[in-house]
Each structure stands twice: as C-alpha cells, then as structure tokens.
Amino acid sequence: MKKEYLPKKIESYVQKYWKKNKTFEVFEDITKEKYYCLPMLPYPSGKLHMGHVRNYTISDVISRYQRMLGKNVLQPMGWDAFGLPAEEAAIKHNITPTSWTNKNIKYMKKQLQLLGFSYDWSREITTCKPEYYKWEQWFFTQLYEKKLVYKKNSFVNWCSYDNTVLANEQVIEGCCWRCQNKVIKKKIPQWFLKIRNYAESLYQDLNKLVNWPENVKNMQRNWIGRIKGFEITLNIFNSSKKLKTFIDRLDLIMGVTYISISSCHMFSIELSKKNKKIKKFIKKYEYPSYSETKKEKYAGINTNMFAIHPFTKEKIPIWITNFTIKEYGINAMLSIPGHSKHHSNFAMKYNLKIKYVILNSNDQNNHS
C-alpha cells in the first residue's frame, strides 16, 4: 500500500470503476430493506460552492453508512432549474435560458462526479424539462378536478422590475431581494390550494412522529396555525358597514375594550385613501425590518371609528396594529387586554381601557 495518497490518480481510477460497473444504480431487491436518501436539489447557477459540498457530503455519508448496514439505498440527484435567475442570467449573457441552464448543469454535474458522491445518475431529473413538469401539471389537474384548488383576486408583493410576485421572505426592507426595486402591493388573480381542509389531520398526525425533535414539531404546528375561536360580525357606529371579527374565548367577550385590525384589512386600506397618517402607518409596517420589530413590537394607530359591542352595545374603538395575525386569515381581533399579555401591553402603551372578567382563587387577574 502506497504511503502517499494521490487523489487525482486514485479517485479517477475508482470513479471510472464505479461508472463502468454501475455501482450506485439501484434495482429492486426484495431481500433488502429499502432506504431513500434525497439531498436538496441544487439550482444550476454555474458552479458549486462550499455550502453544496457540505450538504452533499453529509447526505453521501448517510447513504454509504446505510449501504454498509446492508440496505438497498437509493440516492438520486437532479436540478431545481426553474425560476427568474435563469432568465436574468440569460439576458445578461445574451443567450437563451435553455442554453445557460444546460451549460451550468453539465459543468456542475462534472464537479459532483469529481467529488465522488454515490448518486444513481440514471435517475437524474431536471425540473424545467417537460418529462418532469408534466407530472406537476398532472398533479394540479387532479387537485382541480377534486375541487381542491380555486382562483380568486388577492393582494401580493409585486416587483415591477422583475414583473413577478414575491414571498414575504423575499421582501427586504420593502425592496426586492434580487434587484432592490421598491415592492408594491398589487391585487391580481391567483390560484389557491385548499390546504386548510387537511389542517386538522396534519396537526393531529404530528403526535405520531415519535422520533422527531419537539422543536421541529412545534415549528410545524405554528406553520399550520391552528386557532380555535368564533367569528362575530359587528355593526360600525354611524355606518351601514359591518366588521367581521375573531375571538378565541367567547367567555371573555365582556372584557373586549378595543378591536385590532391588520394593515392589509380592506377597512384599513379604505381609510388610508382619505387619511394620510393611516396611509403612512400602513406603509411603515407593511414590510417591517427585524430591527423595527424589536424596537417597536406593539404599534398602532387609532382609526377614530367604533364598532358596537354585541351585548353591552358600547362603542369599541378600532385600531390598526402591527401585530394582528393576518397570515392565518384573521384580519380583525376582539382584543381583551385584561386576559391577554399582548393585548395588555398594547392597551397600556396607548392608555386604552382594561377590563377583567375572570379572577382566580387568589383574586388576581387571570392572564391567558
């Protein structure tokens, strides 16, 4: 055995052997336990970076370990090749997106093969090819036929330079993460999936994942956003309009002292057209930065309008706030500061009334 390790000579020889003998191509074998290891597919940007090397080394170590345990291991590889970056790069280099993408895939594939990862290249996929995305189209058609998708107009984050919709995470300080162009709110037709039909089963089935870390399961629970409560439609004082609100505890409804609505609520948007202060507030908290969120966790502006309490018939002030949970479809909440820490902090900041409904055995206020 040679004392000196010569990677160019040794690895080239071994990799040629693997390729010739199809060492990592996987075939059905009922005598072995199956193991599937799928690393995240890379975007064909042109060259691998150390982040790629790190991730794919980890998954390859796992795959090789499972093979050593005698399992029939499938570790495939492919290319996440859809998206605007390919179009922009093609424009920049004055070539077609197809040419740019295929050129990058060829080069990056060579890099992965030189690293010696144990992929089954016979199962390689490229997401921008019809033989792949036809199945996405088929899947969408299945959902459509089962009435699990629908179309409606909705507000989106819009970049007028890239002419595309952006996720909230792609808006940095109110600007597009890619081109730094100012992002606007735009109402356009969109397709939606009825994933809420499965929210309860998804939520309950998390309890069956016995080997998952609890913090990961909690992240999933928060993402599902399961909230129990009641929707109550209130009359607006001196107006024919009504306001649909949400409350999670109906037994505390007598403690409601104000209503908090999100900046994206249609009520907020209508008021902003006539009120410059409200318009400025909405603009400021439409895309709050991390530093702004830490500095001003509870912020609001009084609309100077009121809703009528369904039982006491008292006037309840309506406030636009920066903490109402708009992502879950709850754009207006009946706020009970006497029994909610968040609502209490906001009420104290703006000197709003606090009413207590339930006392515990020590005659102290029961905060939920």
pLDDT digits (tens, 9 = 90+) for 338-364: 998 889 999 999 999 999 998 765 545
Fold of 7-133: Rossmann fold (3.40.50)
Region of 10 (left: φ > 0; alpha: ψ -120 to 50; beta: rest) is: alpha
Name the pLDDT band for 155 (thresholds 50, 70, 90).
Answer: confident
Residue 289 has pLDDT above 50, yes or no: no
CATH number of 230-349: 3.90.740.10
User: How far apart are the C-alpha atoms of 271 and 277, rounded to whole Å?
Assistant: 10
CATH 3.90.740.10 in the chain is located at 230-349
* Coil, strand or helix at 264: coil
- Say if CB 353 and CB 336 are below 8 A apart: no
Q: Kindly give the residue spans of alpha helices, DSSP state H, lying in the chain.
A: 7-21, 50-68, 84-93, 97-115, 130-145, 199-205, 214-224, 266-272, 276-286, 290-295, 341-349
Burial annotation 126-153 (CB, 10 A radius, 16+ → b, else e): bbbeeeeeeeeeeeeeeeeeeeeeeeee
At 196-248, the pLDDT tens digits run: 889 889 999 999 998 899 999 988 887 787 778 899 999 999 999 999 999 98
What is the predicted pLDDT for the residue at 366? 58
Region of 201 (left: φ > 0; alpha: ψ -120 to 50; beta: rest) is: alpha
Highest-confidence range of 83-92, 93-102, 278-287, 288-297, by mean pLDDT? 93-102
Mean of the per-residue pLDDT values of the chain: 89
Region of 155 (left: φ > 0; alpha: ψ -120 to 50; beta: rest) is: beta
Residue 327 has pLDDT above 60, yes or no: no
User: How far apart are the C-alpha atoms of 215 and 256, rounded to whole Å?
Assistant: 33
Q: Which two structure tokens, joined as six digits, stand for 185?
A: 């709110």
What is the predicted pLDDT for the residue at 322? 86
What is the predicted pLDDT for the residue at 365? 59
User: How far apart are the C-alpha atoms of 235 and 243, rounded to whole Å?
Assistant: 6
Place of tokens 């690293």: 115
Residue 6 has pLDDT above 90, yes or no: no
| CB-based burial label for 169 (10 Å; 0-12, 13-18, 19+) | exposed
What is the predicted pLDDT for the residue at 326? 61
What is the predicted pLDDT for the residue at 116? 95
CATH 3.40.50.620 in the chain is located at 7-133
